[in-house]
Amino acid sequence: MPNILLGDDDEELTQLLQEYLHNHGIQCDCVHDGQAVMSKLKDSASHTPYDLLVLDIMMPKTDGLSVLRQLPSISDIPVIMLTAKGEEIDRIIGLELGADDYITKPCNPRELLARINAVIKRTSMSASEHLTLPESRLQLDQNQRICQIDGTELQVTGTEFDLLVALLKQKGDVVSKEWLSEHVLQRELQPFDRSLDVHVSRLRKKLQPFHDEPIKAVRGRGYQLVL
């Protein structure tokens, strides 16, 4: 049974979501402010770690974006953000800070369940061998989910790792945004949804010390890995 942490200051909502998720095979602990989220994650590190964090942006004491900024020093847990409808800037900042996905409030519990299952599925997938190509400088260990370039380990999020896997498997080809959204983010690409672009931009910045243009954006078509 997957074990997730839900941070949201709406206690009535979290109770409803907790019951719904439990009925669909997901253990869910709930906390109601950012400081409590951090404390729970620290405590779980020495016991049973959480598989995923669902994090509201607007919370008391410490807001969700501040939690995201501090999170890398505590855990590499995947994160789904809960954001108010229309607050695109919060979603973009959250994705830039390393969140894996987002869902707008008020959220449909069924959609949240689908997003949770998709992220857990992506981050738990394993393979028994490295993924590398003779003409590429990248090495991806899909079992340990470790990314190396020229022998140097690169710190990437779960979504960024999956993007690299998808692009490396089709290295040299232009991979459409629609295909990447469906196979990496596990959902159809929607108009005005910039999630994929933000993930690629963040990944490109991490790769640029090794190559001036590691991932090309081909207008109207998609992305191409050239590293």
CATH number where 140 lies = 1.10.10.10
Of the three residues 124, 143, 170, the one that is the final residue of a domain is 124
For 30-45, the pLDDT digits (tens) are: 999 999 999 999 887 6
For 57-78, the pLDDT digits (tens) are: 999 889 999 999 999 888 889 9
* Residue 104 predicted with pLDDT over 70: yes
Of the three residues 124, 146, 170, the one that is the final residue of a domain is 124
Range of the domain at 22: 3-124
Identify the DSSP state of 100.
Answer: -
Of the three residues 71, 95, 124, the one that is the final residue of a domain is 124
221 and 146 in one domain?
Answer: yes
- CA of residue 204 relative to chain centroid, distance: 16
Tokens encoding 68 = 């995201």
Strand residues in 32-188 grouped as ranges (E): 52-56, 79-84, 101-105, 130-132, 138-141, 146-149, 152-154, 175-176
143 and 195 in one domain?
Answer: yes
Query: 214 preceded by cis ω (within 30°)?
Result: no
Please report, for residues 11, 22, 37, 63, 145, the alpha-carbon distance to residue 32 in angstroms, rounded to integers and kept in the order given. 7, 18, 8, 11, 31
pLDDT at 157: 87
Q: For the purposes of burial, counting CB atoms within 10 Å of the CB of 69, is it exposed (0-12), middle (13-18) or buried (19 or more)? A: middle
Mark 113-142 as b/e (b = at least 16 C-beta within 10 Å): bebbbbbbebbeeeeeeebeeeebbbbbbb
CATH no. for residue 74? 3.40.50.2300
For residues 158 and 145, is the Cβ–Cβ distance under 8 A? yes
Calpha distance 91→71 (Å, rounded): 17
pLDDT at 133: 61
For 188-223, the pLDDT digits (tens) are: 888 888 889 999 999 999 999 998 889 999 988 899
Mark 21-39 as b/e (b = at least 16 C-beta within 10 Å): beeeebebebbbbbbbbbe
For 194-203, the pLDDT digits (tens) are: 889 999 999 9
Identify the DSSP state of 71.
Answer: G
Counted domains in the chain: 2
Q: Please report, as a single letter, which amino acid is at residue 10.
A: D
